[in-house]
Structure 1
Amino acid sequence: MPVVIPAAELGEFVTALLNTKIPDPDHARTVSDVLLWAARRGVDSHGVARVPRYLELLDSGEANATPELSFSGGPSGVTVLDADRAPGPIALTAAADEAVRRAQAVGIGAVGVRRTVHTGAIGYYTSRIASQGLVGIAFVAGMPNMSYPGVTGAAVATSPLSIAVPTAGSSPVLLDMATAGIALGKIAQYRNAGKTLPEGVAATADGTPTTDPALAKMPLPLGGAKGAGMSLVFELITSVLVGAPIVSSFHSDDPQGRVHRQNALILALDPAAFGDPAAFTEHVSETLAALQGLPSTGEIRYPGQNSAAIASKRAAEGIPVGPKVWGELEVAAEKLGVAVPVTPGG
């Protein structure tokens, strides 16, 4: 059975763990906020289950605990952030905020991100933009870990896409998806639970489809060639655009080609630059109401609505953490000298 921890206590616990590796308390809090955002919304594969991996990345130096973020010059609506191997939550939160500032000034903000490490739940950053009344769009490219039609073995990345659109009075529309049929973190969840994977979502190292999570080494593209093509294009508009190609480097004899890294593109659009922003959000809400008013065989929900409802429930009742993950957190806490929250019956 999972342990259930109040969201605030779990956030403080995760922040304290991260702060033992990340000297800047604001940076530690930022990483914690992104992980807790995912946990609250039921995206457990990107929630506190990732804390042990983040600690490993920081210990090994793959992720830079003391990054020097730097924005390059460029047109008023465009800039590139060199993340200096910062953990993704630190780099992409800074990029999202910069995109908002530029969009509020000139109508659109576009921030390319170079050299970050594990972006976390991409929907957090677009939601952050939408909370300012803007439309948020984000793409990420990373290390090849997914097949491509006709290729044996990993060829492209499970590159995610997110779009968040503000509404008039309800939770934002939030599309948050990968170009794979399943996330690597989800495969791990199936493995930990001893469950069989759905058909057609994962493969062995040589590309043979499998439903055994113990044998699954890489996800298969969502929609076959469609998901693979999206991943390739995301590599072009992120990594290649900022002068930091990953795919071509990975598949070459470049000694740095397989060093873990990710790149991103964060966009913010100000509805005021296109017309009346109040009318825009009203029309968004009208569109959602029209969809949800159609004849149906069940409840109709728009993207992000279900996870927003889970977030409300978990904010009130606490966040469940699986026994395996909780055990890993307890071990890390003992090693790092961090107090563990008291669990029910503990």
Structure 2
Amino acid sequence: MKYSTEFLKSYICDVLKAVGLTEENGRIVAESLISANLRGVDSHGVTRLPIYVKRLQTGAVTPNPNVQVEQESDATLLIDGNDGMGQIVGTKAIELGVEKAKKNGAVYIGVKNSTHFGTGAFFIQQALKHDMIAYAMSNAPSTMAPFGGIQPYLGTNPFAFGVPAQKNKPIIFDMATSVVARGKIISAEQRDEDIPLGWAIDKEGRPTTNAKEALEGTVLPFAGPKGYAISLMMDIMSGVLTGAGFGPHINNIYGDFDKPQNVGHFFQLIDVNRFMPAEHFKMRVDQMIDEIKSSPKAVGVEEIFLPGEIELNTEQERLNNGIHLGKEVYESIKLVGEEVGVSIDNFKLQNRRDLR
């Protein structure tokens, strides 16, 4: 069955409120999860609700963190996330960063004592509303070996960037530094499906298509040594520089339930108005997009896409037609709601128009 975004947001928000989040904070996390589903990144969508709730219940995550600026200068912010949910901490970081970038032209934002922040695109979209060029990155628990190794040291350490446009869709790029986000392997394992060869190796270092073996082994960096180098730099910026955990010193979201994760993030915001009027800049971006879209196509190619364009198309389709939840995902979010006293069946009765 398909569900409207508002139905899912309301339900998820109520579940999160039941484990201690305020309405505002619950809404931020719900919007992040729904944003991932809308963009087609279902591995980072509502399927994450049960693990988020479990970590909140065990006390590993602060439901309503007191996010503090620990150090700052004209062009930098170091933020302590108080072990709050990454979506809440990251949203506050972007809010403070936009204010400083508008005042000083650009800002670098380091974050420590945070948790899994969902998709980087969620924060990029917040910054684009203010005519910022934006970069977002995060580190993650060890699931990827250094190139040539078999023991996980680095995380899948995602990074994202975004550029505003005028009449065209903005350019939004968001990826893990592994061949594929580990969440997709987790999803495959939950569905008892194989994964493509080249995504991961088992604990002995052998290529595998078995999702369970892959989770016991290590995911592979994209583009071999290049992806490894980029992942390393993401961890240096997000972890080493900020004072957060790094490499194997970040606690596992699916274990270590008595410990905070101490994930780190790093953001950069650039106010385009410091280079030229934003409207002029966005017109030039439009020109670039139009020229790329109209450039000659290879045999068999129907359309050339810009980074993030397919995801934005998917978002519009799902906004119009609803978000499909598979049976396993639906049952998992239904169960976690029941455990905290929130019934999705009651939501169905109250929101029949929000079912598709």
Using the size of structure 2 for normalisation, the TM-score is 0.90
Residue 83 of structure 2 aligns to a residue whose secondary structure is strand
Following superposition of structure 1 onto structure 2, how do residues 72-83 of structure 1 map, counting pairs within 5 Å? 72-83=70-81
Contact 1:288–1:302 at 8 Å: present in 2 too? yes
Give per-residue Cα distances to partners, 1:130-162, cap 9 Å, x unaligned: 121111101111221111123221011100110
Following superposition of structure 1 onto structure 2, how do residues 128-277 of structure 1 map, counting pairs within 5 Å? 128-217=126-215, 218-247=218-247, 249=249, 260-277=261-278
CA distance in 2, matches of 1:279, 1:66: 40
In structure 2, the partner of 1:322 is 326
Contact 1:141–1:238 at 8 Å: present in 2 too? yes
CA distance in 1, matches of 2:313, 2:261: 35
Q: Match for 1:27: what amino acid?
A: N
Would the alpha carbon gap of residues 69 and 275 (structure 1) be closer, same or farther in structure 2, given more than 3 Å must change?
same
Q: Match for 1:130: what amino acid?
A: L
Q: Kindly indicate whether residue 48 of structure 2 is the aligned counterpart of residue 50 of structure 1.
A: yes
CA distance in 1, matches of 2:130, 2:209: 42
Deviation at 1:212, TM superposition (A): 1.0
Residue 332 of structure 2 aligns to a residue whose secondary structure is helix
In structure 2, the partner of 1:281 is 282
Contact 1:139–1:266 at 8 Å: present in 2 too? yes
Contact 1:152–1:206 at 8 Å: present in 2 too? yes
CA distance in 1, matches of 2:260, 2:272: 39
Give per-residue Cα distances to partners, 1:201-236, cap 9 Å, x unaligned: 112234322111121113111111111111111111
CA distance in 2, matches of 1:43, 1:152: 28
CA distance in 1, matches of 2:62, 2:205: 33
CA distance in 1, matches of 2:137, 2:36: 18
CA distance in 1, matches of 2:207, 2:60: 31
Contact 1:34–1:89 at 8 Å: present in 2 too? yes
Q: Match for 1:333: what amino acid?
A: G
Q: Match for 1:242: what amino acid?
A: T
Would the alpha carbon gap of residues 248 and 302 (structure 1) be closer, same or farther in structure 2, given more than 3 Å must change?
same
Q: Kindly indicate whether residue 335 of structure 2 is the aligned counterpart of residue 331 of structure 1.
A: yes
Contact 1:45–1:186 at 8 Å: present in 2 too? yes
CA RMSD of aligned residues (A): 2.1
Contact 2:101–2:269 at 8 Å: present in 1 too? yes
In structure 2, the partner of 1:11 is 9
Aligned length: 339
In structure 2, the partner of 1:63 is 61
Contact 2:245–2:263 at 8 Å: present in 1 too? no
Deviation at 1:107, TM superposition (A): 0.6
Contact 1:173–1:302 at 8 Å: present in 2 too? yes
Would the alpha carbon gap of residues 313 and 248 (structure 1) be closer, same or farther in structure 2, given more than 3 Å must change?
closer
In structure 2, the partner of 1:33 is 31
Q: Match for 1:280: what amino acid?
A: F
CA distance in 2, matches of 1:332, 1:240: 35
CA distance in 1, matches of 2:87, 2:130: 18
Deviation at 1:178, TM superposition (A): 0.7
- Structure 1 segments unaligned to the other structure (5+ residues): none
Would the alpha carbon gap of residues 85 and 207 (structure 1) be closer, same or farther in structure 2, given more than 3 Å must change?
farther
Give per-residue Cα distances to partners, 1:224-253, cap 9 Å, x unaligned: 1111111111111221111234227469xx
CA distance in 2, matches of 1:336, 1:302: 42
CA distance in 2, matches of 1:48, 1:232: 29
Q: Match for 2:86: what amino acid?
A: G
Residue 226 of structure 1 aligns to a residue whose secondary structure is helix
Would the alpha carbon gap of residues 250 and 276 (structure 1) be closer, same or farther in structure 2, given more than 3 Å must change?
closer
CA distance in 2, matches of 1:29, 1:205: 39
CA distance in 1, matches of 2:108, 2:198: 35
Contact 1:126–1:136 at 8 Å: present in 2 too? yes
Would the alpha carbon gap of residues 314 and 219 (structure 1) be closer, same or farther in structure 2, given more than 3 Å must change?
same
Contact 2:244–2:263 at 8 Å: present in 1 too? no
Q: Match for 1:225: what amino acid?
A: P
Residue 84 of structure 1 aligns to a residue whose secondary structure is coil
Deviation at 1:193, TM superposition (A): 3.3
Contact 1:130–1:166 at 8 Å: present in 2 too? yes
Contact 1:118–1:261 at 8 Å: present in 2 too? no
Deviation at 1:196, TM superposition (A): 2.1
CA distance in 2, matches of 1:34, 1:249: 26
CA distance in 2, matches of 1:332, 1:248: 29
CA distance in 2, matches of 1:260, 1:106: 32
Give the fraction of aligned pairs with identical amino acids, expressed as a percent: 25
Q: Kindly indicate whether residue 306 of structure 2 is the aligned counterpart of residue 302 of structure 1.
A: yes
Q: Match for 1:342: what amino acid?
A: K
Contact 1:5–1:318 at 8 Å: present in 2 too? yes
